[in-house]
Amino acid sequence: MTDNVLDVTLEEGGGTLSVSLEEGGGTKDYRYLANKPMINSVELIGDKTAEDLMLQGTMEAIAEHDIDILMYGGN
């Protein structure tokens, strides 16, 4: 075995199977990760608040009568 390469050889019935596995590229450090995930076009780096991510703030209570007006129109 050499740097990040695993060679396995199996012999059965006169045949030989060789497998080489190499570690993929990339990074183990999130800071250097390409294409970091995003929420509402905000890259997820460090501690983000709901406000930073432009998520819904507090909800306001609405009366049943007002819901009916929104859904069905009228006064």
What CA–CA distance (Å, rounded) separates 19 from 8?
5
Rounded average pLDDT over 55-64: 84
What CA–CA distance (Å, rounded) separates 24 from 22?
6
Per the CB < 8 A criterion, the answer to whether 42 and 54 are in contact is yes
pTM over cut 0.85:
no
pLDDT of residue 10: 65
Q: Read off the pLDDT of residues 61-71 as tens digits, 9 standing for 90 and up.
A: 899 999 999 99
pLDDT tier, 40 (very low <50, low <70, confident <90, very high otherwise): very high
